[in-house]
Structure 1
Amino acid sequence: MSEPDNIGDRLRSLRDERSMTRRELADDSGVDVALIEKLEHGRRGTARLTWLTRLADALNVEVSRLLGGRRSEERGAERAPGPPGDVQDLGDVVASVDSMPGMDTDDAGEAPDLAELNAAVDAAWHAYRMGNMTRLAGLLPGLIGEARLASSELGASAAGPLAEAHQLAARLFVHYGRCDLAEVAAECAIRAAEGGGDELEWETLHGTYSWTLLCEGRPRASEEHAVSIAASTEPSMDEAALRDLTVWGGLLLAAMAAASAADRTASTTEYLGLAGSAARRFSRDRLDYHVGFGPARVATEATHAYAMLHEPGLALRSAGDVHAGELSPRSYGRHLIDVARAQTEIRDLRAAEETLCEAESLCATSFSPAGPAHAVVSDVVVDVGHLTPELRRMARAVQVHA
Structure 2
Amino acid sequence: MITMPSIGDNLARLRRRAGFTQENLAERSTVSVSVIRKLERGDRDSASLPTLRKLATALDVTTVALFHPVPRFAPGNTDDRDDLYVMRRVLQPARALSGGGVVTLADDEDAPSSTDVWQSVREINGMFRDSDYAAGVAALPTAITYARAATSAAPEPHQATAWEQLAQTYQTAAMILIQLRKDDLAYYALGLAIDAAHQAGSDMLVASAVCSENWLLTRQARFNEAERAALATAEAIEPSLTRSPQSDIATWGWLNLGAAAAATRNNRMDVAMDSLRRARAAAHVAVGYRSPHVTHWTTFSPAVVAMREVELAMVTGDAGRALKAARSVPSSARPAITYQRFRLDVAAAHIERRHHDEALDVLLQLRATAAGWLRYQRYAHTLTSRLLRSRARAIPLELRDLADFLDVSD
Take 2:81 and 2:401, find their aligned partners in 1: how far apart are those partners?
Answer: 26
Partner residue of 2:26?
Answer: 26
Partner residue of 1:298?
Answer: 305
Take 1:369 and 1:185, find their aligned partners in 2: how far apart are those partners?
Answer: 20
Which of 76, 84, 88 is 2:85 aligned to?
88
Partner residue of 2:38?
Answer: 38
Which amino acid letter does the alignment assign opposite residue 277 of structure 2? Answer: G
Structure 2, unaligned stretches of length 5 or more? none
Q: For residues 51-90 of structure 1, what are the alpha-carbon distances to aligned partners after superposition, in whole Å with 9 as ceiling and x for unaligned?
A: 32322232232222112247xxxx9xx9869658342321
Which of 290, 310, 324 is 2:331 aligned to?
324
Take 1:370 and 1:95, find their aligned partners in 2: how far apart are those partners?
Answer: 27
Structure 1, unaligned stretches of length 5 or more? none
TM-score by length of 1: 0.88
Take 2:374 and 2:206, find their aligned partners in 1: how far apart are those partners?
Answer: 34
Which amino acid letter does the alignment assign opposite residue 364 of structure 1? Answer: A
CA contact (8 A) 1:333 1:362 kept: no
CA contact (8 A) 1:187 1:209 kept: no
Which amino acid letter does the alignment assign opposite residue 296 of structure 2? Answer: H
Partner residue of 2:348?
Answer: 341
Aligned residue pair count: 392
CA contact (8 A) 1:303 1:316 kept: yes
Residue 110 of structure 1 and its aligned partner are, at CA, apart by 5.2
Take 1:24 and 1:107, find their aligned partners in 2: how far apart are those partners?
Answer: 18
TM-score by length of 2: 0.86
Partner residue of 1:357?
Answer: 364
Take 2:291 and 2:136, find their aligned partners in 1: how far apart are those partners?
Answer: 20
Partner residue of 1:388?
Answer: 396
Partner residue of 2:235?
Answer: 231
Residue 169 of structure 1 and its aligned partner are, at CA, apart by 1.4
Take 2:62 and 2:182, find their aligned partners in 1: how far apart are those partners?
Answer: 26
Partner residue of 2:409?
Answer: 401
Residue 206 of structure 1 and its aligned partner are, at CA, apart by 1.8
Take 1:328 and 1:369, find their aligned partners in 2: how far apart are those partners?
Answer: 18
Q: For residues 208-230 of structure 1, what are the alpha-carbon distances to aligned partners after superposition, in whole Å with 9 as ceiling and x for unaligned?
A: 22222223331210111001000
Take 1:24 and 1:400, find their aligned partners in 2: how far apart are those partners?
Answer: 50
Closer, same or farther: CA 265–341 of 1 in aligned 2, 3 Å = farther
Take 2:23 and 2:111, find their aligned partners in 1: how far apart are those partners?
Answer: 25
Take 1:401 and 1:45, find their aligned partners in 2: how far apart are those partners?
Answer: 42
Residue 280 of structure 1 and its aligned partner are, at CA, apart by 1.7
Take 2:407 and 2:12, find their aligned partners in 1: how far apart are those partners?
Answer: 42
Take 1:130 and 1:95, find their aligned partners in 2: how far apart are those partners?
Answer: 26
Which of 381, 394, 399 is 1:374 aligned to?
381
Closer, same or farther: CA 226–143 of 1 in aligned 2, 3 Å = same
Which of 196, 200, 203 is 1:196 aligned to?
200
CA contact (8 A) 1:349 1:384 kept: no
Closer, same or farther: CA 7–251 of 1 in aligned 2, 3 Å = same
Q: For residues 188-246 of structure 1, what are the alpha-carbon distances to aligned partners after superposition, in whole Å with 9 as ceiling and x for unaligned?
A: 10110111123322221121222222233312101110010001111122333221211
Q: How does 1:116-265 map to 2 (within 5 A)?
A: 116-154=116-154, 155-265=159-269
CA contact (8 A) 2:257 2:305 kept: yes
Residue 161 of structure 1 and its aligned partner are, at CA, apart by 1.3
User: Quick one: percent identity of the two aligned structures?
Assistant: 29
| Secondary structure of the structure 2 residue equivalent to 1:324 | coil
Take 2:350 and 2:30, find their aligned partners in 1: how far apart are those partners?
Answer: 56
CA contact (8 A) 2:183 2:216 kept: yes
What is the root-mean-square deviation of aligned Cα atoms in Å? Answer: 2.7
